[in-house]
Amino acid sequence: MSRLPGWSNVRAVEPEKLQARRRFLQFAGGASLALLAHPLSAADPDVPYDRVEEDWTLVIGEPEPEAHAPQLLNVISPTGDLAGKYGILELNHSTQPEYFEGGLQMQLWSGDECREHATTADSSLLMTTGETISYTLVMAVGYGQLRFRVKNGTSTTWGSFGGSDLLVTSSTSLNNLTGYSPTISASKSRVGFAGHRVEKFALKQVRYYVDNTVVKVDETYRQVHPALE
């Protein structure tokens, strides 16, 4: 499916788009959740993790391809906030450098500015009722570079996805990811449009690495949508 810019339900005026982005960045929710860790305990904040992997699951209800619905966003930050550099994954749409329907886009942001983006060649729209999508969102630091990417993606719409086509990098002064918080990922990630067409959106597991070795596994189930009361 070709990418055609524009959508009647999306405001194309640049100031309004920037305002919407800022409102999204201010969005917060959810409570602090305890870590279930192995073999290290959650009380080890100074372990110099250099890679974090988040396993996400998404269950679509009844999509509406004519309206490009639903649309979702993942956020992941190395510092526990969105003041510095962080990653955003957009599903079933992309907004950089302008709006397109369908597909996936990985973005690297610094404050209010998108520094880099990578978009899948497959711009198919979600259109399968009851479709389950799973993927791993990866953040890594090393050799003066901060990297965000997607791997092990599986879906009916996009088949297997992830890898170099969803990889963004930037220089950084960080040498570890001790400032990472899964609570930030869960509270900032959300269904951006047509939440009634999503049955479930959740962070299932987080793995922490040092030198390519898993040193901690957090199996806390964090459901983003619908919100748990």
Please check whether residue 4 lies inside any domain of the structure. Answer: no
- pLDDT number for residue 76: 98
Per DSSP, 39 falls in state B
Please check whether residue 3 lies inside any domain of the structure. Answer: no
- pLDDT number for residue 14: 41
- pLDDT number for residue 70: 98
- Cβ–Cβ < 8 Å for 126, 137: no
Please check whether residue 128 lies inside any domain of the structure. Answer: yes
Residue with tokens 């749409």: 93
Please check whether residue 1 lies inside any domain of the structure. Answer: no
- pLDDT number for residue 44: 62
Sign of CA dihedral 181, 186, 192, 198: positive
Please check whether residue 221 lies inside any domain of the structure. Answer: yes
Show the domain range for 189: 14-225
- pLDDT number for residue 228: 79
Please check whether residue 5 lies inside any domain of the structure. Answer: no
CB-side exposure of 44: number of CA atoms within 13 Å? 16
Please check whether residue 2 lies inside any domain of the structure. Answer: no
- pLDDT number for residue 43: 36
Query: Which one, of 83, 114, 79, lies nearest residue 97 by Cα?
Result: 114
Give pLDDT tens digits along the chain (229 positions): 434 333 323 333 344 444 444 444 444 333 222 222 333 334 366 789 999 999 999 999 999 999 999 999 999 999 989 999 999 999 999 999 999 999 999 999 999 999 999 999 999 999 999 999 999 999 999 999 999 999 999 999 999 999 999 999 999 999 999 999 999 999 999 999 999 999 999 999 999 999 999 999 999 999 999 987 6
Take residue 210 and report the two structure tokens written for it: 């040092």
Domain count for the chain, please give it. Answer: 1
Per DSSP, 47 falls in state S
- Cβ–Cβ < 8 Å for 165, 94: no
